[in-house]
Structure 1
Amino acid sequence: MEYKGHKLKKGKFITPFNEILTQIGKEEQWYLGRLPEYIWMALIYKSNSRKKSFQLIESILYELNKYLPPGDNHPKISNILKLSEEKQKKFYEYLLTKVDKNILSPLTIIVSYSVSRTFAKYFSSNKDTLEEKTSKLEETLKEFSSQHSNQTTDLRYLIFFYMHLKNRIIMPAQHLELIEQYPLLEHDNPLMAMIRPTIRTLEMVSPSFEKNIDITYLELFWERMSELSECELFQIKFDVEDLTDKKESLEKTYKELKYFTDLFHTTSPLNNKMLVLLGIATFSYKRFLELVEFNLYNTITGRSITRSLIENYIMMKYLLLREEDKENIWEEYQYYGLGQFKLITERYEDSGNIYPNSHVDYKYIGLLVEEYKSKNFIDMDLNYFGSHNIKKKAEMVNESDLYKHLYDYDSIYEHGLWGAIRESSLLKCDTASHQFHCVPDIENQQNLKSVWHDSKMLMQKTLELLKELYGYPYHLEEIQNGKN
């Protein structure tokens, strides 16, 4: 079984990339593990035009190739800092004939005297304050954070260029000739659509050329940057629902449900089928009422309410579908639910009152279990009612879309899975040096998209089901509203 290229294996849809690649560690990821190593080239790149930057950095990389040993196939700053003091001096002296030291000065807040006296000596500058240096690094991280952007691809081309100098790239001559055109072409050139993905792929696999990746510099870089910058939190604000039409909708729902309730009282007070269907619909109405009365549209609770409305509606249709096979399904449904209550009370009787202030009224629900039948005759079924889970029930009553597009999402909230936690309870930090991390939203700044339209639709569907079964006096409603 496949889903958009994903293969189902042992209950998990496996992405095509994970079929052929092992998971990438942090030190091998572009933003976390590679960009900090090449940020010295990014600073130089930013200081000139694109064309001049290529020429300038390529000449610098030619020079660097004289000093880095054969095993160091990447122009990483950590590799440069491992060079002997003499080699570092020679390379930095050459570098300063090409670029102003103020361009690389921001890096001295990371590579300070305690880390590398030689680097700090050559590139320290008082022109910018500590805050300004931090800001320049922050801006550079943000600008090159996307591994697919044009300017990031430019930087990745320069990494490829150095690897080619080291004779680490073996490929057909015609492909190499095409890639070598890269710095000469503008990004709107049609050829670039073919060249850019090749460059990104070649650079992406470059960590595989390294036996052991030393993360000492990476740890230092992120630790210093994190210490020197503050969180900049942002949240997505969804419109809060206008309440003008909510009261009217609630009144209409109440009026329609009251009609069926009165009909039940007067014509079929002992009809189990009508009792069950009205009971489920009333439960949905009370959840709908909570949504409106407590203005829960943009909340986590709103998603729980919507999920409940979906499940109730599907259950009503499922019971009607199975009625043809099982005449006593309405009673079975009641005693299945009471069996779940019985299970709770049995545990209580076995264990005692473990939670004395619990919201569960064990004695009262025990009375409900035995309302019409001794508990000795009520089974406790641990399976799904009707032996079908909600997904299967939805398929059987032609409501798969409700399950796939709404119920499954709301269930993620009901179970507190990470997707729901991330969307509702964590704020994004926009500070690049904090690795765009998340912060708990304890001030409740993040709201969610409103569930009003879905919940209203589901309540209407529930009532339409009752209208189809028992009829509804639309003509009386029109007369009451002053229509002919």
Structure 2
Amino acid sequence: MDRVQLSKHVKKGDTLYTPFTDPGGIGSTLKLSSWSQKSLPEFLWIGLIIFKQGRKRGLENLYKIIDELNNNEMCIPQFSKIHKMEKAKKEKYWSIVLKYVSVEVLAPFTIVVTPDIDDVFYNVFFDSGMEIDKGISEMFSIVKECNKFHDELTTDICFAVDWFYVKRGNVFISNKIDILPKALTDYYKYEHFDEEMRMYRPVIRSTFQALGNRDCSNEFSTVVWERLGEISECNPLMVLWKENDDMIFYEKTTKVMDYIAATNEDKKMDIKYAVVMGITCYIYKIYKEIMERNLQTDISGRILFRTMIESYINLKYIMLQETEVPDVYERFKAYGIGKYKLIMAKMREEKYAVSSEAQIEQKLMELLVNEDMDESFVDMSLGYFDKTQINKKFLKCDEQMLYEMYYEYDTNYTHGFWGAIRESSMLICDNPSHNYHTIPDYYAEQKLKSVYADCEMLMKKVFALISDYIELPSFYLKE
């Protein structure tokens, strides 16, 4: 299926809906169903016949099986529905299958369908001479080849299921449509590499979706997947990224900071200098921690990088406000100190019991709050700095790309949203019989793609921003 462009999504409230999920369109009636999770277990026995007998012979025998089942008024393909038949009917059903399929073909399915699930099937097809490991391997092969709905073996299964419905008289074809009759009658005559199959396969699958898919049992499929999961171990996979241990730009950045510290003497008493270089040093210290503690490929590296971005935007925003709001630097300091005062006051008034070993130190916070003036004159803001939301700040600073790509991405890590959790802390299980589920990364083995280049990009932005106010070394400016 082609990917839906962002421009094709429909915005309603704070959600972007695809054309398929739009509640004002087909989304109100659309019901999603997973082929592998819901349908495949029902038809594994059909897949085994085609897989083990070969495509041509397997489909021919399925034709004969379906004909005879239909003559006995039991033309049903779903295993869960066969299971619900009376015992005598079930015995008749599988005796018909046994005419065209040897015991060893369906024996692997008895590893999953044990007597407690269906004793009739088990007694008919259990093979005491079967090698268990070989049977498990064959089940895994079937599941792997049929995991996706567009796989070739999957389409063969869909064709067989379609034919069950054709023989039962559940398919009515308009005389204005000729592709479906041709697909149903000619499908088995061609190999998958033949050109005709490019037309037939989509028709076969869409017919299955309209017919066979709706009669599948979630309960039975859940049991099958649970059994398949029990007979094998997980095989967790990690994504390996090339690590970048180049420290050249970081070392250059350190030299720039050393140069700034030794120069700009004429500005050191200005409040603007304190705020501008305070934020710059804050960003640099985060960068330093990421680099020197090798956090580039860790979750904390992404969280720290987001803080670097937000600090940079605060700096750029207040520098842009300077001409319109002369005391913007005082306001920025007052806003932050007010935030500290609120926490400190709650501790002092014992609203909450905070351990003396906690990271928050009341006496230090009290000292900071009263540093410039007595706290009686320090207001406390409960909203955003100057009431401007963070996304609006990015817009005013002409940094939309930084917001929509980097900040939004790393926000997933800061807030622990599932996308970040999945990328960093869950491993895919490369075991088809486990339906490719995910496994928690208990041993913290998954590393992320490095934030090295992103940190370099942001530090360059910071230096470019302050360069009109702060003197930078010539060796940096030349490069």
The TM-score normalised by the length of structure 1 is 0.89
8 Å Cα contact 1:261-1:278 kept in structure 2: no
Counterparts in 2 of 1:118-267, with a 5 A limit?
A: 118-172=120-174, 173-180=177-184, 181-206=186-211, 209-210=214-215, 214-242=217-245, 245-246=246-247, 248-264=248-264, 266-267=265-266
8 Å Cα contact 1:222-1:433 kept in structure 2: yes
Aligned-residue CA RMSD (Å): 2.5
Mark the CA change 1:90 to 1:416 in structure 2 (over 3 Å): closer, same or farther.
same
* 1:16 lines up with 2:19 in the alignment: yes
* 1:7 lines up with 2:10 in the alignment: yes
Alpha-carbon distance in 2 for matches of 1:319, 1:397: 10
* Structure 1 residue 280, shift from structure 2 partner: 0.8
* Structure 1 residue 475, shift from structure 2 partner: 6.2
8 Å Cα contact 1:111-1:120 kept in structure 2: yes
Aligned to 1:295: 294
Alpha-carbon distance in 2 for matches of 1:66, 1:431: 40
8 Å Cα contact 1:303-1:451 kept in structure 2: yes
Aligned to 2:342: 343
* Structure 1 residue 209, shift from structure 2 partner: 4.9
Give the AA of the match of 1:129. Answer: E
Mark the CA change 1:45 to 1:293 in structure 2 (over 3 Å): closer, same or farther.
same
8 Å Cα contact 1:41-1:155 kept in structure 2: yes
For 1:350-380, what per-residue CA distance to the aligned partner results, in whole angstroms no more than 9, with x for missing partners?
Answer: 3154333211112211211111022222222
Query: Among 29, 35, 39, which residue is 1:34 paired with?
Result: 39
Mark the CA change 1:475 to 1:229 in structure 2 (over 3 Å): closer, same or farther.
closer
8 Å Cα contact 2:91-2:120 kept in structure 1: yes
Aligned to 2:64: 59
- Paired residue total: 467
8 Å Cα contact 2:20-2:30 kept in structure 1: no
Aligned to 1:107: 109
Aligned to 1:312: 311
> Structure 1 stretch 276-285 or stretch 95-104: which is displaced more?
95-104
Give the AA of the match of 1:365. Answer: M
Aligned to 1:92: 94
Unpaired runs of 5+ residues, structure 2, are: none
Mark the CA change 1:207 to 1:192 in structure 2 (over 3 Å): closer, same or farther.
closer
Alpha-carbon distance in 1 for matches of 2:80, 2:476: 82
Mark the CA change 1:372 to 1:130 in structure 2 (over 3 Å): closer, same or farther.
same
8 Å Cα contact 2:39-2:213 kept in structure 1: no
Alpha-carbon distance in 2 for matches of 1:476, 1:175: 69
Mark the CA change 1:62 to 1:3 in structure 2 (over 3 Å): closer, same or farther.
same
Give the AA of the match of 2:282. Answer: F
Aligned to 2:276: 277
For 1:381-417, what per-residue CA distance to the aligned partner results, in whole angstroms no more than 9, with x for missing partners?
Answer: 1222132222221111111111111111111001111
Counterparts in 2 of 1:404-419, with a 5 A limit?
A: 404-419=404-419
8 Å Cα contact 1:257-1:463 kept in structure 2: no
Alpha-carbon distance in 2 for matches of 1:446, 1:205: 41
8 Å Cα contact 1:340-1:381 kept in structure 2: yes
